[in-house]
Amino acid sequence: MNDPQATAFNVSHQDDITILSVKERFRSLDELHIYEMSTQLIDLARNMEPPLLVIDLSGVTYFGSSFLEILFRVWHQLRKREGELVLCSLQEHCEEVIRISNLDQLWKQFPDLLDAVEYLQSQYTE
């Protein structure tokens, strides 16, 4: 899975914040795509330093419970390390799924990447 074309997301950094952006070709995160992402995301959450992650979902129009499970596992790894996961740029359907499952109580959501990064910087940088 070291082939960049096989990876469902791009990882970048802004200062000390890790930004994960789902690639455009993975607009719908079905079970096959989730399987491809799960190990990579958990490893990322275990090893990133500092443990501050923005997941940019601007290109995603659909995800289901399997993706929510992965987000929860990533969030759990980050919290064990006193870090945080925030989401940004959610499409209406995805935002509704998060809200209905009450996961909006765990993960802050922001309208865009800039707001998400600024929030984490204000909370965790000196």
Quick one: pLDDT band at residue 7, thresholds 50, 70, 90?
Answer: low
Q: Delineate the domains of the chain, giving CATH numbers in brackets.
A: 4-124 (3.30.750.24)
pTM: 0.86
pLDDT in tens, 57-113: 998 888 878 889 999 999 999 999 999 999 999 999 999 999 999 999 999 999 999
Question: Would you say 75 and 108 are in contact if contact means Cβ atoms under 8 Å apart?
Answer: no
Both tokens assigned to 76: 């759990």
**CA count, 13 A, side-chain hemisphere, 52:** 16
Residue 37 CB partners (closer than 8 Å, separation 6+): 8, 9, 29, 70
